[in-house]
Amino acid sequence: MLVEAHLENGVIQDALIADTLYRGFEQILEGRSAFDMPYYTQRICGICSSLHGVASSFAVEQALGMTVPPNGLILRNLIMGSDFLQNHLRHFYLMSMPDYFKGPDIPPFTPHLEGDIRLTPQEDQRLTEHYFNSIEISRNAHAAFGVFGGKAPHGHGIVPGGCTMHVDADKINRYRGYLITILEFINNVMIPDVEFLAERYPEYVYLGKGNGNFLSVGGFTQPDGSTLFPHGIVLQDNHHPFEDRFITEEVTTAWYEQTGPIHPWQEKTVPDKNQPQGYTWIKAPRYQGHALEVGPLARAVVAKEKIIGYGAIGRHWSRVMEAKKIAEAAMIWLERLVPGAETINTKVEQESGMGIGYVEAMRGSLGHWVKITKGRVDHYQIITPSTWNYSSRDEKGNCSVGEFSIRGLKIEHPELKEAGRVIRSFDPCFSCSVHLIDGERLRTLNVRV
Amino acid sequence: MLNRREFLKLVVKGAILGNFISLITPELEKALAQGEIKKKLPILMVETGTCTGDSISLDNIWTPTLSDIFTNITEWRYDWTMMQNQGESAYSVLLDMEKNLAHEFILIVQGSIIRRDGGHYNYAGLENGQLVTGLDLVRRLGLKAKYIVAIGNCATYGGPASGYPNPSDSTGTQTILPERRIINVSGCPAHPDWIMGTLLHLALYGEPELEKFGRPKMFYGETIHNNCPRRRYYDQGIFATDIGQKECLYRVGCKGPVTYADCPIRRWNDRYNWPIGCNSPCIGCTEPGFPDLMEPFTNHFPDIPFPGGSRAATDRIGRGVLGLTTLGIVGHFLTSLYKGRLQRNLIQSTTKGKKKIRLKKAKTIRNYRPKESKP
């Protein structure tokens, strides 16, 4: 990821956030067998692999008229849940925490990013221990993924029609064992840690606010049709139901062939590095013209749950609370599994069709749009969470939530540390749309657009 | 008595493996001061066209733990996902290693090498205000590294990013560094044991023995099929008719017979499960040519043409022929795999139904044969 910040008297006036990697998955997927999609789309991202798998399965199932047995749905939730826990643990400790504590004097902590560390050496020592503990706990989450998903990341268990793994008490027992360790860690270590950070860095609970628009497309569909995360849009405190037809994507300032704002069904992905206004590979998804924030905070706002602030640590707090919520829900899902009952149904009603797969991934809303003709993919479009959070400017010059959030930030420390804290609080995805360039590179520059 | 040289060798091993240093401090300090040994393995990781799945996979390592790797085994100096620092001061670590640790550090490449538009579809750094492409950075550091380890199928053979029509013109590391010998730890993602085992081998004993596509033989010596716990179903001709069943998955697309890896015995995460263990076929993610030559993942291979012209369908082999003969045929089939016969057949029945595309892809495979490093 590349951040260009325009500073005046130490205050960020404007910023451009750019992604510097193009792989072209949407182009690659065309022409392949529809049943390969969950395997292939997982390769888009190594951190939220299962979510891409589930989104593409949903899309293919809708297109081909397949029905998933209840056990299959619960298994998917368990796989996604463990992947969520893995991400939330790793993001909080391995990616965010180093912004707030000094850590040991060994690489990869050295050279330290100096300045504004408000902890005593003892507290620093304690957080360092938690950092290393979290590594051991988070791999438990992926081990739980592996119980039903085969391996993690890039599991094999999720396919159109359900999950390939059968259910028995041994597997439930094993998954539960991993889950309990994680739940204990969340309750005893992670929640106190995030509250401790909020206490020591109180202004960051509010610093780095988004633009007040939030989206959640709903996630963790349960057999009775309900979802753990409700879907909805919040535009400046007004709640609205979410509708697919209001989504448009445009590429005015991204390195693609120009199309104007269009729905993913009409969209084509044609890269064009010579685009004069281009500065990034991220497209610009908009909902009725609004840039939206997605992620744990957005889900909490849409679900009208408790939040402590809309800023950087406010986002971390929501993320940690969400981890607890998911771990507890997973306990209930485990009880609802029926050992021996079918988990997959590969019966297909038609050979061609169109389907949409929406899931809430760790970082926010993920959508897959697929058109299938005679079992092969004709058209594939994906909007990932980081595409929402770090979108390019649209034709009206509206910026993304990510770019908006660091405007007005007062910079007092080297390498624009403050902006790094805010940007990382969104949990930028490393690969699906955003790729960090050497942590975050921030420089002063005049900004176009 | 050990002579000084042997002693130092031992010290290096001790320093890498544990706390040997404290036992023999004076001698070690002298050696350190004279610059004869390095304490830990300096690592520089460059991420190019990647999904970061291999980093995440490495985080999942069960023994040793990642904490142990960071504190005792390696000096994990440059890795933009794990570093605390950011911006110029982080990048200066890389520049410093390039300058002061030339021919001492291990370069890990993660992600395909993107060549489109001269590499400008992927930037991996910012130097003096100029964006540095992943292609240039890997080439530059590759010439300075002691060993180069490519992890994941993308970095080794191009991987999913190089799938037809290969919009980013992705390729494996060996293609762009023909003058260096690349150690390929393939897989999508690579198993953490494969990564760490290779790194440790490099630290203690130098380069491991490599097979014909540059992968360490200790991990990629045999096919999945040879060690598969469902092999008995195959031998008896009992095949699953759909994914999600407990029999041999050969007829629903398992690529175990052409995939070299030790997944069946090693297994994944907490060693509990692995892809075939969850009733889903192996998709051949450790092989060059993945994914195009392995697709469709859930459709089975063409019937195998056997030497002598007889065309035996796989289920008949199992049912009709005695176990011993079957083994003989399968053995032959395996050894002749990369000699082209099966490759050509695979090519006819996998991705997209366009023969030429797959033939073209298969031809690129020979680029990945390991080269000798030139000084």
pLDDT digits (tens, 9 = 90+) for B281-319: 999 999 998 888 888 888 765 544 333 333 344 444 434
As a whole number, mean pLDDT of residues A325-344 equals 95
- State how far Cα A226 lies from the chain centre: 21
What is the average pLDDT value for chain B, to the nearest integer?
80
As a whole number, mean pLDDT of residues B22-49 equals 67
Place of tokens 């490759």: B343
**A445 three-state secondary structure:** coil
Which H helix or E strand runs over A5?
Answer: strand A2-8
Furthest C-alpha separation in chain A: 67
> Do the chains contact at B297 and A154, CB–CB below 8 Å?
no
Cα A286 to Cα A280: distance, rounded to the nearest angstrom: 17
Q: Residue A159 — very low, low, confident or very high, per pLDDT cuts 50/70/90?
A: very high
A333 touches A220 (CB < 8 A): no
What is the per-residue pLDDT for B27?
58
Q: Please report the number of interchain residue pairs, chain A to chain B, with beta-carbon separation below 8 angstroms.
A: 278
Residue A445 has pLDDT above 90, yes or no: no
Q: Residue B193 — very low, low, confident or very high, per pLDDT cuts 50/70/90?
A: very high
Residue A272 has pLDDT above 50, yes or no: yes
What is the per-residue pLDDT for A344?
95
Residue B350 has pLDDT above 80, yes or no: no
Q: Return the residue of B nearest to A134 by Cα.
A: B67
| Phi, psi of A218, rounded to the nearest 5 degrees | 90, 135
Q: Residue A16 — very low, low, confident or very high, per pLDDT cuts 50/70/90?
A: confident
As a whole number, mean pLDDT of residues B177-202 equals 95
> Do the chains contact at A136 and B75, CB–CB below 8 Å?
no
Partners of B164 on chain A (C-beta within 8 Å) are: 28, 31
Q: Residue A432 — very low, low, confident or very high, per pLDDT cuts 50/70/90?
A: very low
As a whole number, mean pLDDT of residues B118-138 equals 89
B102 touches B143 (CB < 8 A): no
Cα A85 to Cα B31: distance, rounded to the nearest angstrom: 46
Cis preceding linkage at B264, omega within 30: no
What is this model's ipTM?
A: 0.92
> Do the chains contact at B50 and A46, CB–CB below 8 Å?
yes
Residue B96 has pLDDT above 80, yes or no: yes
> Do the chains contact at B121 and A271, CB–CB below 8 Å?
yes
Look up residue B179 and give its two tokens: 């003058």
Q: What is the pLDDT of residues B157-175, one digit of tens each?
A: 999 999 989 999 999 999 9
What's the half-sphere exposure (Cβ side, CA atoms, 13 Å) at B35? 3
A288 touches A306 (CB < 8 A): no
| Percent of chain A as helix, strand, coil, to the nearest 5 | 40, 20, 40
The residues, any chain, with a CB within 8 Å of residue A357's CB and separated by 6 or more, are A54, A55, A56, A57, A58, A59, A60, A61, A62, A367, A368, A370
As a whole number, mean pLDDT of residues B205-225 equals 94
What is the per-residue pLDDT for B12?
47
Q: Residue B324 — very low, low, confident or very high, per pLDDT cuts 50/70/90?
A: very low
What is the per-residue pLDDT for B349?
44
What is the per-residue pLDDT for A3?
81
Cα A15 to Cα A59: distance, rounded to the nearest angstrom: 36
| Percent share of chain A, pLDDT over 70 | 96
Look up residue A296 and give its two tokens: 């744990």
Residue A294 has pLDDT above 90, yes or no: yes
Alpha helices in A228-365, H assignment, sequence order: 296-302, 312-336
Lowest mean pLDDT segment, chosen from A180-184, B207-211, B342-346: B342-346
What is the per-residue pLDDT for B123?
87
**Length, in residues, of chain A:** 449
**Mode of pairing for the β-strands spanning A213-221 and A364-373:** unpaired
Please choose, from the candidates B173, B171, B203, B30, the residue with its C-alpha nearest in 3D space to the C-alpha of residue B104: B203
**B326 three-state secondary structure:** helix
The residues, any chain, with a CB within 8 Å of residue A311's CB and separated by 6 or more, are A203, A204, A205, A206, A207, A208, A209, A422, A425
As a whole number, mean pLDDT of residues B74-98 equals 88
B50 touches chain A (CB under 8 A): yes
As a whole number, mean pLDDT of residues A106-127 equals 91
Furthest C-alpha separation in chain B: 72
Partners of A174 on chain B (C-beta within 8 Å) are: 272
B87 touches chain A (CB under 8 A): yes
Cα B142 to Cα B126: distance, rounded to the nearest angstrom: 18
What is the average pLDDT value for chain A, to the nearest integer?
90
Residue A8 has pLDDT above 80, yes or no: yes
> Do the chains contact at B270 and A146, CB–CB below 8 Å?
yes
Q: List B residues 159-218 in contact with A (Cβ-Cβ < 8 A).
A: 159-161, 163-168, 170, 188-189
Look up residue B175 and give its two tokens: 């293609």
| Percent share of chain B, pLDDT over 90 | 52
A165 CA: distance to closest CA in chain B (Å): 5
* CB nearest to B88's CB, from A143, A156, A415: A415
Q: What is the pLDDT of residues A61-116, one digit of tens each?
A: 999 999 999 999 999 999 999 999 999 999 999 988 988 999 999 888 888 888 88
Q: What is the pLDDT of residues A250-269, one digit of tens each?
A: 999 999 999 989 999 999 88
* CB nearest to A40's CB, from B92, B93, B291: B291
- State how far Cα B58 lies from the chain centre: 13
What is the per-residue pLDDT for B301?
55
Q: What is the pLDDT of residues A362-381, one digit of tens each?
A: 999 999 999 999 989 999 99
Q: Please say whether the dihedral angle defined by the alpha carbons of residues A45, A47, A52 and A55, taken in this order, is positive or negative.
A: negative
CA distances from A372 to B164, B300, B364 (A): 18, 21, 30
Residue B365 has pLDDT above 90, yes or no: no
Q: Residue A436 — very low, low, confident or very high, per pLDDT cuts 50/70/90?
A: very low
B351 touches chain A (CB under 8 A): yes
Interface test with B, best of A60, A435, A446 (most B CBs within 10 A): A435
What is the per-residue pLDDT for B334?
52
Place of tokens 């998911």: A326
The residues, any chain, with a CB within 8 Å of residue A100's CB and separated by 6 or more, are A117, A119, A127, A197, A200, A201, A421
Cα A397 to Cα A235: distance, rounded to the nearest angstrom: 19
Partners of B86 on chain A (C-beta within 8 Å) are: 113, 415, 417, 420, 438-442
Residue B342 has pLDDT above 80, yes or no: no
* CB nearest to A439's CB, from B86, B278, B296: B86
What's the half-sphere exposure (Cβ side, CA atoms, 13 Å) at B85? 22
Residue B186 has pLDDT above 80, yes or no: yes
As a whole number, mean pLDDT of residues A271-275 equals 90
Please indicate whether residue B294 or residue A131 has the higher confidence score (pLDDT): A131
Beta-bridge partner residues of B194: none
